[in-house]
Amino acid sequence: MDSRTLHLERTSSSNCEKYPYVWSSPEGGQKIDLGKQIFCNRSLNMRSIVAVGFDMDYTLAQYKSETFESLAYEGTVRKLVNDLGYPKQLLEWSFDWTYMVRGLVLDKKRGNILKMDRHKYVKVAYHGFRELSKEDKVATYGNTLIREAFDEPEYALIDTLFSLAEAYLFAQLVDFKDNNPGKIPAETIQSTGSKDVRAAVDLCHRDGTLKKMVAVDPERYINEDTSIVPMLKMLRDSGRATFLVTNSLWDYTNIVMNFLCGPRASDGSSALTFGWLQYFDVVITGSAKPSFFHDENRASLFEVDPESGMLLNTDNGTPMPQVDVSLRLPLKSLDKSCQVFQGGNVGHLHKLLSIESSSQVLYVGDHIYGDILRSKKVLGWRTMLVVPELEKELEQLWTLRDCRKQLQLMRNERDHVEDKIHHLKWSLRQVPTIYFTFKERQAEIDKLQSQREHLRLSHQQAQRECHQKFHKVWGQLMKTGYQNSRFAHQVERFACLYTSQVTNLSLYSPDKYYRPSEDFMPHELDILGL
């Protein structure tokens, strides 16, 4: 296949570097690795997009789970002990950053952690770290006349990577409370500690505990990605506006974006400049998403002075300092073509970018609720969800393709035996038979039932082993058994596009027409052999 290599130049005060990248045009181009592909749920013609926006945390900035999530976990534990009166034993606990996954639901009342399918049937459930039996699952979640909604406040949704440490600590507290009655403060919600865990997490974010540590050493906590600048330049060179909307404040945003897009010193460290602003038309910090996406949100829009970190009210209000000016950058260079703001709402953003229709905007984020659901349902923006876990999942799917075919054959064999049993039972009820014929058919039914049970257990075990190759506890991210998981269902409903990394956009033509795969009915799948 033909491919086109574009060389983009980024000029800084100290050096000039060339960034090659390859994109694949709609007419054909270089084949893109499965893990880097962009997947489409709803048709999206990029030629109709006039502005592309990005979230920062876990979208442009991909945090290192082993360091950043551990930092969040340790900070939360310290808050629980020092500020909320929890036992000092908690300080001895350790964190397994690989244990939790997105898409889980915390049952705060019962202390359970659930994974469910798209129809909200609980398929995997743990009480703390103890797996619930099938009987316990059915007794708790399957015997009510009115189905559970699994919504707040009784439940907590783990829909962002920021919540993984919180979920793990929740499970630890459930086990600790079960084994040490009376040691957890009595005022905790439903005796699970979930309310206090959330409060401790909020404290870590509110007092800057996490972000101050990241700001001191970004390289320790954030993955470096040299593809971000070429991607942004490609979009801008194609005539589109680019914008950044993040809940982080200016001081922290500036440090993170400098690390990702700023020039590098001779020793490899990132220099602190405002050069990264040249890649954006508008930057909005402290946006308070998801309320930002409501035009009726009357939050004031403040212009940020990048040099001092001061906020200037564009509605003729009084100048205001940032919450934390200790991280501001003492530099004088600034590209005035980029406007930096704090607060406001989506109406302000549309005016700043002269956007006439919401469908002309593509917004890229990592949080289904905070970034994708609201921007899609409330505004009608086009959306792209970043799912970093997807790359490894796709690799595993390819590796296990023969195993998955075998599982399907085993399932078909189970169904075939089941049909034969039903047919024989029906014939015994409907067709008069002599005594010896009845005994023969009943013996055949008994034999088939034994075979069915053997097939059921074998298939169940094989399916469990297959899922555990994706994750030892929760299995495949996008599936629960043969059903799409709740997380996959949300991706399908609210994300026009989804992919593993934001920079995968640079592998495709900026004018590409994304089209979903054909929507087949079940009978069509059978006919086509899919």
What residue numbers does the annotated binding site for Mg(2+) cover?
Answer: 55, 366
DSSP 277: G
* Chain mean position to CA 207: 25
CA–centroid distance for 127 within its chain: 24
Q: What is the DSSP letter of 69?
A: I
Quote helix, strand, coil % in the chain, to nearest 5: 45, 20, 35
Burial of 481 from C-beta contacts in 10 A (0-12 / 13-18 / 19+): middle
Annotated binding site for GMP: 57
Cis peptide before 290 (omega within 30 of 0): yes
Burial class (CB in 10 A: 0-12, 13-18, 19+), 133: exposed
Q: Which two tokens stand for residue 114?
A: 């659930």
Is 281 among the catalytic positions?
no
Binding residues are: 55, 57, 366
CB 394 within 8 A of CB 402: no
- Give CA separation, 202 vs 153, 210, 289, 369, in Å: 16, 11, 15, 18
Render 150-180 in DSSP notation, one character per residue.
--TTTEEEE-SGGGHHHHHHHHHHHHHHHHS
Contact 202, 76 (CB under 8 A): no
Sign of the dihedral through C-alpha 283, 289, 290, 292: negative
Q: Which among 2, 55, 196, 415 is annotated as catalytic?
A: 55
**Among 57, 117, 159, 251, which one carries the catalytic annotation?**
57
Q: Write out 349-376 in H/E/C secondary structure.
A: HHHHHCCCCHHHEEEEECCHHHHHHHHH
Half-sphere exposure of 33 (CA within 13 A, CB side): 11
> What does DSSP assign to residue 62?
-
Mark whether 57 is an active-site residue: yes
Phi, psi values for residue 222, rounded to 5°: -125, 135
Distance from the first to the final alpha carbon of the chain? 27
Q: How far apart are CA 250 and CA 299, in angstroms?
A: 17
Q: Which residues are catalytic?
A: 55, 57
